[in-house]
Every structure is written in structure tokens, then in C-alpha cells.
Chain A
Amino acid sequence: MPVESYLGVPLHRPKVAFFEFTACEGCQLQILNNEATLLDFLSLVDVVTFREAMSERSDDFEIAFVEGSITRADEVKRLKDIRKKAKVLVAMGSCACFGGVNQLKNRFNDPKWVKEQVYGKFPVESEEARPLEDIVTVDLKIYGCPIKKEEVEKIVTNLVLGKSVNHPKYPVCMECMANENICLYKLGEPCLGPVTRAGCDAWCPGSRFGCWGCRGPADAANVDQIISIMEEHNFSADTIIDRLECFGGFKAFAEELKKKTAKSKTKKKRAGK
């Protein structure tokens, strides 16, 4: 049953729609995957479009949750159309926020070659993978690959109650330490936890799997410093670059490091001669 009021204050049950572009649809699955609170979630919002969950659809919505990156011209058009209809557009997950794993293809200089390697001669349109923000205004971002369902529930509850939505500004280390995990650097593993935005409850480091930065940089991320620290722990430039460029949130830093590494390689070559 929809909840009509909270502490005597009438509530508005917003019409929401879910959309996907180039993505694995795992973020949407995360929302459905929480049976314990799914009914409560559905009584807070009126879902009018959700291809992964229902057949009905409607263009009459207020909040659009958009998953995926943009890789084709028709996607650009569809996204702009969604933006027009939505009062609030939410980028959901790393692909929508930063381009996600998809944007790894942008690292290659020759897009034609990439297309051939993946699709062969099959005629597929596939351009550079872009985050939603490159095309439309994004009102709110929900970070993560995949998104954390508890976090989505908190955000949606706050949206319905008219409370402000605040992401943690601090990095994953705070949550990792709160969970009493052993620092992965002590175990000899690289980790982007010290610079990545928290909110995931240190999901990966908690399983002794170093952070890959899927939630993008924290507010005061000292990325140069973590690069030096990783170098000092004898992680190769390739290892560091792989991590920084995996989800797209640290793109600028990855590119800068690549340039630096390329320069020092040419220097070394010259010195070798």
C-alpha cells in the first residue's frame, strides 16, 4: 500500500522510470534484487517504466533513473528525449556517471581496429563511450559498479521525504577501517580506497580485493600522492594506470600518468643508446 503521509505531512509519490543505455543492466537488477524491501520501495514510488521488471510503459514520469554510457547516435537522441520529459534525471552507476568499464575502449588510438576486433565485419555502430553528463544535465549521481541497493533506498527515501541527498565526501578508507579490515597495502595489494568516494561500505577491500575506484574520486582525493605510494610499493606504471582508468572516474589522472610514463620510457631509450 502506498504511504500517504509521514508524521502527518502528506507525501507525494513520484512517478519514476528506469532506462538503460550501453550497460550490463546490473544496476537495475540491484534494485530488484532486494526482495526484503522491494515492496516498501514500490510503495514509496510509482514505477511507470522499468523494462527489466514489467511490460507496461509510460512517458509520463518525474524522475528518470538512467543506467549506462552513451555509445551511439540514437542513444544521444533518446537520452535528450528522456531529459526533456524528466524533472529529475539520475545517473545510476559507473557507466552513467563516468562511462564505466565501457569507456576502456576509448584508450585505444584506433577505434576502427577496436570495432573489428570485437564485432568483426558485422555492421555495428559504436562510437566512443561517454558519460551522461557529456550530453545532458545530470541532477543526481548514484555511484558504484554496481550501485549499492542500501544506498539507493536511502537516496529514494530522502527524495520522497524532501530531505537532501548527501554522498560521503570522504574516501573508502573510513568504511574499510570501520569494518576492521586489514589494510590491503599491508598485504601487498594495490588499492584505490584512499582516494575513491565511500558509500560502498568498502565492499571490495572487505573481501581482500583492492579498490578499483568504481565510485570515482572522493572530494579531497590526493591522487598524485596515492600514485607515489603505489610506486613506492613497487607496483608498475601499468598496474597503476589499469586501476585508474578502469571505470573512468580517474580518467584525467590516468591520462596524465600515461603521458609521463611514455616520456620517461623515451628518455630511458635515449639514455640506453
Chain B
Amino acid sequence: MIFRIIKKLELKELFDVMAENRIIGPVQKGTSHEGKPLYAFEPVLDFNDLKLDYTTTTRPAKRYFLPSHETLCTFSIHENGWDKSVDFNIREPHVFFGMHACDINALDKLDKVLLESNFPTPYYAAKRKNMFIIGVECNPQPFCFCRSMGTDSASHGFDMFLTDLGDRYFVEVQSAAAFNFLKNIKTREPEEKDHTRYMKVIAEKNRKFTTAVDTTDLAKILDMEFQSDVWKYWGDKCLSCGTCASVCPTCYCYGVEEAVDIDLKGAKKKKHLYSCNLIDFAEVAGGHNFRPESHSRLKYRYYHKHRGFMEEFEESLCVGCGRCSEACLAKITVPEVIASVRSGVKPKGRPGRHGK
């Protein structure tokens, strides 16, 4: 591993060097009615728009590599038959400037399914192979539980990683591309005092985590508690709206639909990300629905994240970013659901009243 130190002001130079590519980074997209800034990953043209001290983005950067809607292929129909054309829908490489460790870990997890499995998806691979990631150390929020999921730091999956040491950045360099970019700006070797400061900053960050999830034997406990009444409690609250999956950096389930153009001269095969909480997720041909009840759908979402993926890859599919808990209008949060499944005790208050 190569470490470098760059001055704070030098980061703009780095941005400008990279600016010949399309830069995606955290920007403020709005303000909540409580006055809190709402951040999103958007294309950034001006370094000053980049908010590297952002709390978290309400949505992951997923749309740039796993878009909610994607045309997989188009068909054109002519007198003698039809032609098929396939497009992986990537026009230019993307530079992600300022991704937190949770989101980098999320990409690593997606890679396991979409790149490294027996059937890699070229639509994802094309985009994934054309990205450059600059990670940035985060600022733990009350809803973050990445530390419990082991995703509070990233050991791979990025090109360089920045840690704010006050007047300078501590830079981890992991790729040749990153090393070459850094040649264009002023950097120096880290000294002992930088290492000391780095460790102090990380220790300070770790003290800020307030939410934890007990993941000990979680896969096993989920199996034992398959019939628990607790699921019904959460199912009654669930709106079955799919928002948790939409804001999840690792939810990749999808449906495929074929649509014929209105002029009947062509057709499209389209993919759209779906959510296991939606009513017809487990509906099959003939109309039978394996999970008609809200609580069984919600339960299977937890089973995929914390049990099924665990069995297959020895790790959870959840990175603990807390976005689903933040976005859920019914206030269904991962730490609370898992705690209630472990203890078998429903939270106080009746469903829909959020503990009032």
C-alpha cells in the first residue's frame, strides 16, 4: 500500500486534473423541512459544489452502475425477420469523487453476485470496469451501523481513499491509475506525525457510532425465528412500497419486460429493479403468489440480506448505511427489527404508532 499526504488546497488541483472525465460526487440537492441538508450523488462540474463533509446521501450511487430502468436490447423488425442490438449503456468512464466506505463495500458485495458469479452481467461489468473511485472518510450518523456489519472501513474496491487530517488529506493509493493522477499534483511522503494524526482521527470517528446491531450467530437465529410473531408486527407496519430496496446500495433484484413499439416495427427488452417487498414479487405464471402477506415479504428481505447471502459468501449483504431506516415512512429500522427478532419482543406501542 502506498500512502501520500496532500494539502487541502491541492485537492482542487486533483479535481481539475480528473475533470476531463465525468465526475460524480456528493452535492446538496435540497433541504428537509427540518432544515437538514439532503445530499445526492450528482455529476459535479465545479469543485465548490462538492460536499466532501456530507453526512450521507439519501440515495446510493447505484443508478450509475445499476440503474432502476435499463434497456437490455432492442429489436428491429423488417420484412425478412428481425435484428437484435445490444447496448451496455455506458458512454464514458465515471469518476466517483467522495464515496464513503459503506458504499465502496456495497460495490464489492455487488461484484460477488454480478461480476464473480457463474453468470456475470455484462451491463454491470461494463460500468463497473469503467469507474474510478475516490473514497472519503465519513462522519458517522445516528442511523449508521456499518461498524456492526464490518463495513466501516474499506480495504479494497477503490482507487484512492482520503482522510481529512485538518489542513491536509491522508491518501491511500490502491491503483496505478490513482498513482498516475497524483503525479500531476503536489504530494509528499507521510511522516510519523501524519500517522499519529491519522490514527487519532479514526479513533475519533469510531467514538461517534451510536447504533449497533448484534450480528452474533444472526444467520442461525434467523432460521430459528422463522415463525416468530415479531415478523407480523413489522409486516403490519410495512407499506409494501419498495422504498427500502430503492435506496439500498446492494439491492439488485429485478424484473424483465418486453414491450412492442406502437408502430410494431420494433421492440425492447427492458430491465427494472424490483423490490421483494412489492406484492407481486413472488407471483408466478398462473397467478399463484408465494408471499401474499406483507410480513412474509419483509421477512424474506431480511433473510436474503442476513442469511442467504451469508450462506453463499460468508458475509452479510447489508452494509449498515442506514438509508432504508431513514427513508422508511413507517419507521421500520434494521437495528430494531433484528433486535426484536433476537429477543422475540415486539417494540412497545401498537403498529403504526411508532412507540407512541
Contacts and interface: CB of A to CB of B under 8 A. Distances in A.
Interface of A: 3, 6-7, 11, 37, 40-41, 43-44, 153-154, 156-158, 161, 163, 169-171, 173-174, 177-178, 180, 182-183, 185-188, 193-195, 218-220, 222, 224-226, 228-229, 232
B248 to A, nearest CB: 11
Nearest to A7: B77
Given A186-B38, A187-B33, A194-B329, A170 B246 contact: no
Contacts of B352: 224-225, 228-229
A169 B274 CA distance: 12
Nearest to B275: A174
Tell me the interface secondary structure of chain B in the complex. loop
A41 B279 CA distance: 32
Given A182-B38, A187-B32, A220-B294, A40 B241 contact: no
Contact of B329 (A11, A158, A226): A226
Nearest to A171: B241
B217 interface: no
Contacts of A158: 260
Given A177-B242, A225-B239, A229-B330, 20 more contacts: A7-B77, A7-B82, A37-B262, A43-B263, A44-B264, A156-B262, A157-B259, A163-B260, A177-B68, A178-B68, A180-B40, A182-B29, A186-B33, A186-B38, A187-B32, A188-B32, A194-B243, A194-B329, A225-B351, A226-B239
Nearest to A187: B33
7 nearest A-B pairs in the assembled complex, by CB-CB distance: A188-B33, A177-B246, A178-B68, A173-B241, A220-B279, A228-B352, A220-B240
A6 B38 CA distance: 49
A72 to B, nearest CB: 36
Given A7-B82, A185-B329, A220-B294, A169 B241 contact: no
Interface in B161-203: none
B28 to A, nearest CB: 11
A170 B242 contact: yes
Contact of A40 (B237, B263, B273): B263
A174 B241 contact: yes
Nearest to A183: B327
B174 to A, nearest CB: 29
A75 to B, nearest CB: 32
Given A186-B38, A188-B33, A194-B241, A44 B262 contact: yes
Contacts of B279: 169-170, 218-220
Interface in B270-320: 272-273, 275, 278-280, 294
B353 to A, nearest CB: 6
